[in-house]
């Protein structure tokens, strides 16, 4: 009996070990939003329920159709202040959408539009909300005419924290905040080269991750984060090609991946991963071989085991079957008439 148990555990260990070595693969699905009339689709964020927010465009980008793709796969279009150029940028579990309209940050809940207060009263000339977590804390950026810079912000029920990861930051984009209060985004000191950052709203401290080690790196943008500490974004090379990544905050390591339908246009390829939820669903957009921008979402799937591991698993299952037959025979012996006789 002990020998069979050992075989079973060895088989299970081999199977799970293979999964860990092979890592996670993603099944990509192209998403074209309503109103996508040759102008393309931009996907900006995904909630923990799987709702996806973004916008699609007509051919000359004069009209944007903002949408939520519901978890069931249906689309709901959003009327944001009757503004044809409004942007829906973030969404939380409660279905609250945030973005920008007419240079003002907004939240949209059950059809009710609320314009957010200025991050710096008297000094804010424009403001954009990029992300919202499940407790309603909003992050974004604003133009500060007092300093001539564009800082990031955290808005907790109208209480603003201004974000500048380094003292000489010219532009800071706070893009996403998870339910643990960890903010991610990117900043620039020269208006061109960009680098990622994290801001802990509990400790009020910044963390500046190292840029990915890639040839001809020009900039790095962090765009989304989940509660497990997985962040997503993209890096760009000197030629303008953009490639997606997943960054693990805990191990400080990058995983690089592009949408498999990515095209090459004038030598340039584009994939941006813009959001990730607690199920590790990633969303974003890419440019296809026709030069059209397409949205996508992708769910993780464990890679199929190698044949040798299947053999070990089969051995383990055979052991289970052997053990099941043994137990059945023992029960039959216990319940047989011979074994049920009373001894007097």
Residues 6+ apart with CB under 8 A from 278: 48, 226, 227, 228
* Whole-angstrom distance, CA of residue 119 vs CA of residue 151: 10
Over residues 145-172, mean pLDDT: 97
Confidence of residue 2 (pLDDT cuts 50, 70, 90): very low
Percent of the chain with pLDDT over 70: 81
- Angstrom CA distances, 165 to 34, 174, 193, 251, stand at 37, 10, 14, 21
Look at residue 117 and tell me whether its pLDDT is greater than 60: yes
Confidence of residue 39 (pLDDT cuts 50, 70, 90): confident
Instruction: Please say whether the beta carbons of 57 and 40 come within 8 A.
Output: yes
Query: What DSSP character marks residue 175?
Result: E
Query: What DSSP character marks residue 157?
Result: T
Strands 41-46 and 52-57: antiparallel
pLDDT in the model for residue 302: 62
* Whole-angstrom distance, CA of residue 139 vs CA of residue 216: 31
Instruction: Please say whether the beta carbons of 106 and 126 come within 8 A.
Output: no
- Which ranges of the chain would DSSP assign to H, the alpha helix? 2-22, 307-335
- CA 108 to mean position of chain CA atoms: 21
- Comparing 1-5, 63-67, 134-138, 302-306, which segment has the lowest mean pLDDT? 1-5
Q: How far apart are the first and last CA of the chain?
A: 34
Residue in the structure block whose two tokens are 């191990």: 251
Q: Which helix (H) or strand (E) holds 2?
A: helix 2-22
Model pLDDT for residues 70-94, shown as the tens digit of each residue: 999 999 999 999 999 999 999 999 9
Domain boundaries along the sequence of the chain = 24-302
Over residues 259-284, mean pLDDT: 97
- Angstrom CA distances, 60 to 79, 82, 83, 105, 172, stand at 20, 19, 16, 24, 29
Task: For domain 24-302, say whether CATH 2.120.10.30 is its number.
Answer: yes
């Amino acid at each position: 009996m002990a020998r069979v148990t050992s075989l079973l555990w060895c088989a299970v260990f081999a199977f799970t070990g293979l999964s860990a070595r092979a890592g996670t693969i993603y099944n990509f699905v192209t998403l074209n939003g309503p109103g996508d009339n040759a102008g393309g689709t931009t996907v900006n964020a995904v909630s923990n329920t799987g709702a996806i927010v973004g916008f699609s465009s007509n051919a000359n980008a004069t009209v944007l159709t903002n949408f939520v793709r519901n978890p069931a796969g249906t689309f709901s279009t959003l009327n944001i202040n009757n503004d044809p150029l409004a942007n829906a940028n973030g969404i939380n579990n409660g279905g609250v959408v945030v973005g920008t309209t007419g240079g003002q940050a907004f939240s949209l809940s059950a059809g009710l539009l609320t314009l957010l207060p200025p991050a710096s009263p008297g000094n804010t000339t424009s403001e954009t909300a990029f992300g919202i977590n499940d407790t309603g804390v909003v992050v974004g950026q604003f133009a500060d005419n007092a300093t001539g810079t564009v800082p990031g912000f955290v808005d907790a029920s109208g209480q603003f924290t201004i974000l500048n990861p380094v003292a000489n930051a010219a532009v800071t984009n706070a893009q996403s905040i998870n339910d643990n209060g960890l903010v991610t985004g990117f900043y620039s000191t020269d208006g061109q080269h960009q680098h990622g950052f994290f801001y802990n709203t509990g400790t009020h401290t910044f963390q500046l991750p190292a840029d990915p080690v890639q040839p001809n790196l020009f900039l790095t943008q962090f765009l989304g984060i989940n509660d497990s500490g997985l962040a997503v974004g993209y890096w760009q090379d000197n030629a303008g090609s953009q490639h997606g990544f997943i960054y693990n905050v805990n191990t400080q390591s990058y995983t690089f991946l592009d949408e498999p339908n990515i095209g090459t246009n004038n030598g340039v390829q584009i994939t941006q991963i813009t959001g990730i939820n607690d199920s590790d669903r990633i969303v974003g957009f890419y440019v296809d071989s026709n030069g059209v921008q397409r949205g996508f979402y992708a769910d993780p799937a464990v890679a199929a085991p190698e044949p040798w591991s299947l053999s070990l698993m089969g051995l383990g299952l055979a052991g289970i079957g052997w053990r099941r037959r043994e137990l059945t025979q023992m029960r039959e012996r216990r319940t047989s008439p011979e074994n049920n006789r009373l001894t007097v």
